[in-house]
A and B are shown apart, each in its own frame.
Chain A
Amino acid sequence: MSLTHDARVAVRPADVAQRPARTWPEINNPAAWIVAIILLIMPLIASGFFLIEIFATTLILGIMALSLMFLAGYGGMVSLMQLTIAGFSAYMVAVFGVSGNANISLGWPWWLAVPMALALATAFGTLGGALAVRTEGIYTIMITLAIGAAFYYFTNQNWAIFNGHTGINTVATPHFWGVNWRADIPFYYVVLAVAALCYFAVEYISRAPFGLALQGVRDNPRRMAALGFNVNAHRVAAYAFASFVAALAGVLQVWNYRQISPGSVSVGACIDVLIIAVVGGITRPIGPFIGALIFVLLRTFALDFLVRLGLDGNRFRLLIGLGFLAIVFWSSDGVIGLWQRWRQSQRPRTDRQNGGRGHG
């Protein structure tokens, strides 16, 4: 568990000493306010393309990666199936709701289909988690990767529910109160609201008794068991919560693209979520969103950028892979870790009051 260990050990003492348990760290942080205001007035600044293709997509990917960050950062369990859970929930929205494939979709209204999808996806993720917690550390990676890959091949082969490799197209999006919630600006606010909700929920849980116990389980499961905590129950509960977060992201994703196909739950995509979380940093909930922004910007603009440099524009994944390797090599805590180290090197003598902002 070295990835999470190194950075966490450094920030622990300041955190405990300073802060009363019940305040949100964002309240005293001007940067957080600035980011929040920019995000709120984003539709005034950005055009439709940027609003949806960059920022809404970033937030959706960020939510998925956030669920991984919660498991990996606080629970010490690196799960590669978070995208699979999101994809399952997206499929369920398409299957229970209204879509172009009338022979498959049941045609329920969205306010029935979405809770159903969330419940089923959470159950699916919890079951997968219950399986994964039977093993530890790197085994978890392998088992969750195997689950993700099995789901991908299953959706490819199953025509009765998942409609094979063509997937389900023209999924209906909600219209109510006279608003088309998939229009650019309303959809952006929906995504932003869900992202904020998930972000603060993760942050709250990380400081609630459950989250603290989970971090205890991560650091020393035997000792927590000796103290009377049910180690596996905490882990499965963490999977359940993370699955719910991932399922929310899946609903938003299927509304965003209006279709879902096996391509969006492929193994490569599962690994992308891990890359996003690790590049951003898995010790704090803001990390996945930073990672997602970097990933989406690279994915959107790498082609133009590479062509301008006179290289082959199709080498986007090479760039991503090399960037990921560099991050894993030089920073144990992603971009956040780099930033923190840079700040510390800037003012080595002050008491590092911002160094203790993590909750890990």
Chain B
Amino acid sequence: MSRFVERHPAWALISIIAIAIALWLVFAVWPPGLEEAIGRKRVFLNAVFNGITLGGLYFLVASGFTLIFGLMRNVNLAHGSLYLFGGYVGYAISTATGSWLLSFIVAFILTALVGVLLQLIVFRRMEGQDLRQTMVTIGLSIVFADLMLWACGGDFYQIQTPNWLIGPIELPLVTAIKSSGEPVYLRYPLVRLVIFAASVVIGVAMWLALNRTRAGMIIRAGVDDRDILAATGVRIQLVFVAVFAFGAGLAGIAGVVGGTFQSLSPGEDIRFLLASLVVVIVGGMGSIPGAALGALIIGLAEQLGSVYIPTYAIVVTFLIMVLVLAIRPQGLLARR
């Protein structure tokens, strides 16, 4: 961090000012002039919270994607299909048993199994042929999409939020002051906050596992140079299978989360594939912190954009991607 400040003092200053303004916008009571200019604070805070929690969901999808890419150089364009598959499995389990938590576990295991099968049957046969692997994943995503359409139909599904998470909670953030002088606090759905906290926990756990354990060391070594790693006697195929299974399982979990937040329907697979593509392009391919940063940026841009410039929300996301590509083609936090 201090090196960044030394090398780019102007950028550091700009980002510090931006962070300060953002914090002030979140915590301060807005003066009336500002409320007239850009609308009420409650709307703004809701958009910010929606953006951050959506970023958590995007992180869950994109981190698996970026992990698989980082290690195997495999752009898994069937990742969106894994997301949707996990969502459908979660829906089936939660309606059958009524248990929300169980649906996460089953969705993780089943999508991880699909991932293992994909790696063993398909990708292992064409190792090192990046483009061909990508083509195969495109074919697979078409086949999966149609199979799921066949099995589940074109309806919308929503996974039932468990009772203990229904309803809003009050956050210690003042949105306005009543005429009586009483402050009005922000109310926000508890389930979204819980899910966001869970995705932060998963992200931190992943970072710790990658940076502090032996298995993580092997994976990082594989990202840097898998040939040398294989030459040192590590059973690289086993590592590949494990990472693919874990990345796919994360997509499955994200599917359950997405099914609770939003809804599941054909087409969501492509939407989330696109989201994870943009997130990892912005954050940097193969980097977990990059996926977190990218997910946060894209989630916030999408939600704030849809509140303040509704017709061009998607363009904002796209412009961010263009900007990053123009300034730092390898992504914000990539090391390359």
Contacts and interface: CB of A to CB of B under 8 A. Distances in A.
B25 interface: no
Nearest to B285: A139
Contacts, number: 116
Contacts of B135: 3, 274, 278, 324, 328
Interface residues of B, number: 39
Given A2-B131, A3-B131, A137-B131, A321 B142 contact: yes
A158 B147 CA distance: 32
B48 interface: no
Q: Which DSSP category, helix, strand, loop or mixed, fits chain A's interface?
A: helix
Given A134-B325, A141-B134, A324-B139, A146 B274 contact: yes
B270 interface: yes
A58 B135 CA distance: 22
Interface in A127-146: 131, 134-135, 137-139, 141-143, 145-146
A325 interface: yes
B23 interface: no
A312 B128 CA distance: 38
B312 interface: yes
A146 B322 CA distance: 10
Interface string B148-166: 0010000000000000000
A139 B131 CA distance: 10
Given A268-B270, A318-B146, A328 B311 contact: no
Contact of A146 (B131, B142, B278): B278
A281 B317 CA distance: 34
A318 B148 CA distance: 11
Given A139-B285, A159-B311, A320-B142, A145 B277 contact: yes
Interface string A142-156: 110111011001100
Contacts of B73: 138
B134 A325 contact: no
**Chain A residues touching B, range:** 35 or more
Contacts of B140: 321, 325
Contacts of A149: 270, 274
Nearest to A141: B134
Contacts of B315: 150, 154
Contacts of A320: 142
A192 to B, nearest CB: 30
Interface in B223-272: 270
Interface string B305-323: 0000011111101100110
A141 B133 CA distance: 12
A181 to B, nearest CB: 35
A162 to B, nearest CB: 10
A317 B314 contact: no
Given A1-B131, A3-B132, A146 B321 contact: yes
Nearest to A322: B143
B139 A150 contact: no
B170 interface: no
Nearest to A140: B131
A212 to B, nearest CB: 22
Nearest to A137: B130
Given A137-B131, A145-B277, A324-B139, A131 B311 contact: no
A69 to B, nearest CB: 14
A324 B325 contact: no
Given A134-B329, A142-B277, A271 B138 contact: yes
A267 B318 CA distance: 15
A325 B131 contact: no
A317 B325 contact: no
B114 interface: no
B281 A146 contact: yes
Contacts of B99: none
Nearest to B322: A131
A122 interface: no
A150 B314 CA distance: 7
A312 B147 CA distance: 12
29 contacts: A2-B131, A135-B325, A137-B131, A138-B73, A138-B134, A139-B281, A142-B75, A142-B281, A145-B77, A145-B277, A146-B274, A146-B277, A146-B278, A150-B318, A150-B321, A154-B314, A157-B311, A158-B312, A278-B135, A312-B150, A318-B146, A318-B147, A320-B142, A321-B140, A321-B142, A325-B140, A325-B143, A328-B132, A329-B136
Given A131-B326, A138-B75, 10 more contacts: A2-B132, A138-B73, A138-B134, A141-B77, A143-B325, A146-B318, A150-B314, A150-B318, A271-B138, A328-B139
Which 4 A-B pairs give the minimum distances between C-beta atoms?
A321-B142, A321-B143, A325-B139, A2-B129
